[in-house]
Amino acid sequence: MERKKNTVIVVAGPTAAGKTAMAIRLAQLLQTEIISADSRQCYRELSIGTAKPSPEELAAVHHYFINSHSIKEEVNAGTYEQLALGYAAEIFQKRPVAVVCGGTGLYIKAFCEGMDAMPKVPAETRERIRRQYEVYGIDWLQSEIKQKDAAFFEVGEIQNPQRLMRALEIIESTGQSILSFRKSNPVERDFNILKVGVTLPKTLLHENIHLRVDKMMDAGLVEEVRSVQDYRQHNALQTVGYTEIFNYFDGKLSIDEAVEQIKTHTRQYAKRQLTWFRKDTAYHWFDAREPGKVLEFVKSEL
């Protein structure tokens, strides 16, 4: 394959595996900067529930696409593609290497391969599905997707009703999984892409997830969610860590039940992230406890 002038190193993997620490070490070694690939950390109002890098971590290496937007704005994968390409071009003016780090698989795919055009959905189909969701709730949505689009159910954000409704709209309108519209020929980027996957043994990963959720609660997750109640229909808030606390506010769960659900749903999300990333055979996988091996591998590839 033709070697290009510049290289992007993608650091991906499940939540709570240690991606941020790994990316910072890489960026410091290569004297470069990081582009976040997290669909929620871009929002200034969401820090605790998104496990945003600490102020110390953000000070250690400059991060793009963190605290870059307000919850009053909508950001999607298409938006991210254009922003991230711009960030990369900015970094390449100074350094030949950039680091992309995050767990939002669709954003990474959009950046590396480009976004496919989605088919148009009849307004009546969209409205009918939305009305049914309002009546029957997320359990109904999950059941419909599991039955009609099992492929998406395996890897999609199944705690996110906006994503579920979008997938259901597509399958009902076209008879095809939403995933089938993400399989066209990738766009050829003008930089090399090196993909690094980091993870941990399942038991340790689950321990990290539980500890992280407990720390989020101690740090004031309930207060953070309360502060954005006016925007609870925003896509970024239809996600793990926020929906459970909203359900607590609505009297559907006790606070202890909400915390347990956050832990369960985060474990399930981590599993789906691994499924998504492992389908891409370009990833080179490492144990997050062995950063030296990642650093040596990257140096050998540049």
105 is in an annotated binding site: no
CA–CA distance, 270 with 276 (Å, rounded to integer): 10
Residue 102 Ramachandran class (φ > 0 left, ψ -120 to 50 alpha, else beta):
left
Supply 61's token pair.
């290496």
Is 17 annotated to bind a ligand? Reply is yes
Q: Which residues does 186 contact at the CB level (< 8 Å), separation at least 6?
A: 112, 113, 114
Burial of 96 (0-12, 13-18, 19+ CB in 10 A): middle
- At 286, which helix (H) or strand (E)? strand 284-287
Q: Which amino acid is at 49?
A: G
Asked if 278 contacts 253 with a C-beta cutoff of 8 angstroms, the reply is: no
- 13 annotated binding-site participant: yes
Three-state SS for 199? Answer: strand
- Nearest residue to 171 (alpha-carbon basis) of 149, 154, 156: 149
Is 156 annotated in a binding site? The answer is no
Residue 53 marked in a binding site: no
Q: Is 20 among the annotated ligand-binding positions?
A: yes
b (16+ CB within 10 A) / e for 106-141? bbbbbbbbbbbeeeebeeeebeebeeebeeeebeeb
The answer to whether the annotation marks 292 as part of a ligand binding site is no
Q: Is 239 annotated as a binding residue?
A: no
**Which residues sit in the known binding site for ATP?**
13-20
**Which residues sit in the known binding site for substrate?**
15-20
**Which residues sit in the known binding site?**
13-20
